[in-house]
Chains A and B, each alone.
Chain A
Amino acid sequence: MNYFPDEVLEQVFDFVTSHRDRNSLSLVCKSWYKLERFSRLKVFIGNCYAISPERTIDRFPGLKSLTLKGKPHFADFNLVPYDWGGYVYPWIQALARNRIGLEELRLKRMVVSDESLELLSRAFENFKSLVLDNCEGFTTGGLAAIAANCRSLRELDLQENEIDDGQWLSCFPESCTSLVSLNFACLKGEINLASLERLVARSPNLKLLRVSRAVPLDTLHNILSRAPQLVDLGIGSYVQDPDSEAFNKLKATILKCKSVKSLSGFLDVAPQCLEAIYPICSNLTSLNLSYAPGIHGLELIKLLRHCTKLQRLWVLDCIGDKGLEVVASTCKELQELRVFPSDLNGVGHAAVTEEGLVAISIGCPKLHSLLYFCQQMTNAALITVAKNCPNFIRFRLCILNPTKPDHVTAQPLDEGFGAVVHACKKLRRLSLSGLLTDRVFLYIGMYAEQLEMLSIAFAGDSDKGMLYVLNGCKKLRKLEIRDCPFGNMALLEDVGKYETMRSLWMSSCEVTLGGCKTIAKKKPMLNVEIINENDQDFCLDDEQRVEKMYLYRTLVGRRDDAPDCVWTLDAS
Chain B
Amino acid sequence: MGFEETELRLGLPGNGGGGGNGSEVEVVRKRGFCETENVDLKLNLSSKEVTAGADATHDKAKSLINKEKSLLPSDPAKPPAKAQVVGWPPVRSFRKNMLAVQKNSSESSNQTDQKGINGNAVLVKVSMDGAPYLRKVDLSMYKSYQQLSDALAKMFSSFTIGSCGTQGMKDFMNESKMMDLLSGSDYVRTYEDKDGDWMLVGDVPWEMFVESCKRLRIMKGKEAVGLAPRAMEKCKNRS
Contact = CB atoms under 8 A, between A and B. Distances in A.
Interface of A: 74, 76-79, 81-83, 87, 89-90, 93, 111, 113-116, 134, 136-138, 160-162, 186, 188, 239, 241, 243, 267-268, 270, 290-291, 293-294, 340-342, 344-348, 350, 373, 375-376, 398, 400-404, 407, 410, 412, 431, 435, 437, 455, 457-458, 461, 482-483, 485, 507-508, 510, 533-535, 545, 547, 560-561, 563-565
Nearest to B40: A535
A398 B185 CA distance: 68
A293 B98 CA distance: 10
6 contacts: A83-B72, A137-B72, A162-B97, A345-B13, A404-B16, A508-B33
Given A161-B94, A403-B10, A461-B1, A342 B99 contact: yes
Given A77-B87, A115-B67, A347-B17, 4 more contacts: A78-B77, A78-B87, A347-B19, A403-B10
Given A79-B87, A348-B18, A113 B95 contact: no
Nearest to B83: A345
Contacts of A398: 89-90
A241 B117 CA distance: 7
A340 B99 CA distance: 11
Q: Which 4 A-B pairs have the closest CB atoms?
A: A77-B87, A347-B14, A401-B17, A82-B76
Interface in B52-70: 58, 61-62, 64-65, 67-69
A120 to B, nearest CB: 14
A564 B44 contact: yes
Contact of A136 (B72, B96, B103): B72
Interface residues of B, number: 72
A510 B32 CA distance: 10
Contacts of B41: 81-82, 533, 565
Interface string B1-42: 100011010101111111101101010011111011001111
Given A403-B8, A508-B32, A344 B92 contact: no
A450 to B, nearest CB: 23
B86 interface: yes
A188 to B, nearest CB: 8
B64 to A, nearest CB: 6
Contact of A111 (B39, B72, B96): B72
Contact of A160 (B32, B62, B79, B92): B92
Nearest to A402: B88
A72 to B, nearest CB: 12
Nearest to A73: B90
Contact of A78 (B8, B16, B86): B86
B21 A407 contact: yes
A52 to B, nearest CB: 11
A458 B29 CA distance: 11
Nearest to B19: A347
A348 B93 CA distance: 19
A399 to B, nearest CB: 8
Interface in B92-148: 92-99, 101-103, 105-106, 117-118
Given A293-B106, A401-B17, A561-B65, A373 B35 contact: no
A177 to B, nearest CB: 31
A291 B98 contact: yes
Nearest to B8: A403
A339 to B, nearest CB: 12
A412 B118 contact: no
Contact of A82 (B31, B36, B72, B91): B72
Contacts of B61: 90, 93, 560
B86 A186 contact: no
B88 A293 contact: no
B196 interface: no
Given A87-B68, A270-B117, A535-B42, A294 B89 contact: no
B87 A74 contact: yes
Contacts of B105: 268
A410 to B, nearest CB: 6
B82 interface: yes
A510 B6 CA distance: 15
A400 B64 contact: no
A293 B36 contact: no
A293 B32 contact: no
